[in-house]
Amino acid sequence: MTEERPPPGIAGDGDYEVRGRLGGEGPFSVVWKAVHRSSGQDVVLKQVRLSGLTRSLRECLDCEIKFLASVCHPNIIRLFDVFQVDGCIFLVLEFCQGGNLATYIKQKGRVHENAVRKFMKQIGAGLEVMHAHHIIHRDLKPENILLSTPSNDAVLKISDFGLSRVVHPGEFADSVCGTPFYMAPEVMQFQKYDDKVDMWSIGAIFFELLNGYPPFRGKNNVQLLKSIKDSTSLPFSQLLPSLHPDSIDMCTSLLCKNPGKRLSFDEFYHHKFLRR
């Protein structure tokens, strides 16, 4: 989107005073930090221009709104309100002071295994809610995991469900979407897929938390896919202290190239690493 300001009526005589643009801009959306005038509460306004949306993207937007409106969970970003102005849908979302997990990793580098366990438990709790609603996110990555505060005991929140959709057991999706470094190989190969793509993404996030860098690299999708296909083991940092075998097992099992052998959500949620 190219608008420098939201449409009239939002910052002017509307309920929200816009304070500035946040990151997370997409082809059809832009994100603003704002304040609710009557309560003084900081919020996020996600502005989506409807005219540019394909049918598939409109279905994803509807899925995002329906899902977020139906849940209230500490590890899922909260949706407070939805309204439409001048051809744009606005989602009023919870503001997280701690930024996102990508910034956290950039600042901290490798994260201690015990802290990673706490993070993964919280992400797992959010995934449990998604799993109960048959939601696959399709763009899980550190940028879309938010921290409630800058403190070490921050609550993690899964956000940005703009590519999400409902996939019931036995059903499959086939749209190529997501962020390459966290995209499952079956998506890059234009194959049909299910919720196992989210488990791959969780594995990539898990690996990056432990090592400070993503598990596979490439200048483009072709090189990235080749890196995945050619790998025989995960490139854990040689600087890491000895990792617990349960940690290595969970990471390796999440990043299994064969989705049929990759950890399911239930296997991930009950894995020994998270139960310790």
Ranges assigned E (strand) in the chain: 16-21, 29-36, 42-49, 79-85, 88-94, 135-136, 145-147, 156-158, 165-166
- DSSP, collapsed to helix, strand or coil, labels residue 101 as helix
Q: Give the type of residue at 162.
A: G
Q: Of 105, 113, 101, whose CA–CA distance to 212 is shortest?
A: 105
Task: Please classify residue 66 by burial: count the beta carbons closer than 10 Å to its beta carbon, then call 0-12 exposed, 13-18 middle and 19+ buried.
Answer: middle
Residue type at 237 in one-letter notation = S
Task: Determine the Cα–Cα distance for residues 249 and 88; give it in Å rounded to an integer.
Answer: 46
Instruction: Answer yes or no: 174 catalytic.
Output: no
Token pair 């930024």 is found at 99
Q: Which of 98, 97, 94, 92 is nearest to 6 (CA)?
A: 92
Catalytic-labelled residue, pool 139, 160, 194, 195: 139
* Residue 122 structure tokens: 């919280």
| Calpha distance 243→114 (Å, rounded) | 10
E-strand ranges in 86-153 read: 88-94, 135-136, 145-147
Catalytic residues: 139
